[in-house]
Amino acid sequence: FDCQGGYAADQKTGDLPDDVKVVLDIPTVFGNCVSPGTDEGRAIMQVIHDVAPGADLTFHSGFPGQAGMVSAINTLSSVEGVDIIVSDLVHLTEPMFQDGLIAQAVDAAVASTSVAYIASAGNGGLSSYEADFDPGIGDENFFPGAAILVDTDFDPGKSPAEYPFFN
């Protein structure tokens, strides 16, 4: 949040209010951030402040690793007045096809409190996947054992009884 020391300047310019609660920033040793801090968290807070200028802001670092993120989610969901948790962190060791530790912490926080959790979809830019839309019409059969009948002259004004394959 403030490894680069820009919070005071943000207060003077109105980019951030002077009452941001910082529960946990990246740890420091002799006043220097342990890891090279980019203050990306403060930048996200600036965006939130622009969108919702009257909102109370509370910051908690999601580092280090999955355990740090789980701790941040658990802590923030129990802080009085925290309604929305926003994250843009990606943890490459989080499982893709099942709920890992972070997803479980999010599920528990959302289920047990009124907090909403918003996560970025990623910053992959040009390394993302892109393809033309495939409506699934043709030789594909997404439902094994069932025939997919397609009416190329579909008319939403017709009742289902007017289509021959429903009779």
- 76 contacts: CB under 8 Å, gap ≥ 6: 23, 58, 60, 82, 85, 109, 115
Between 91 and 22, the higher pLDDT residue: 22
Mean pLDDT of 144-154: 54
Mean pLDDT of 29-45: 75
Which of 62-71, 100-109, 122-131 shows the highest mean pLDDT? 100-109
Ranking 2-6, 55-59, 74-78, 89-93 by mean pLDDT, the lowest is 89-93
Q: Whole-angstrom Cα distance, residue 111 to residue 83?
A: 13
Mean pLDDT of 152-164: 61
- Return the percentage of the chain with pLDDT > 70, whole number: 67
Put simply, whether the predicted model's pTM sits higher than 0.75 gets the answer no
Between 82 and 29, the higher pLDDT residue: 82
Q: Whole-angstrom Cα distance, residue 12 to residue 29?
A: 27
Q: Whole-angstrom Cα distance, residue 119 to residue 88?
A: 6
Closest CA to 3 of 61, 73, 53, 64: 61
166 pLDDT more than 50: no
Mean pLDDT of 86-100: 84
Can you give the pLDDT at residue 27? 66
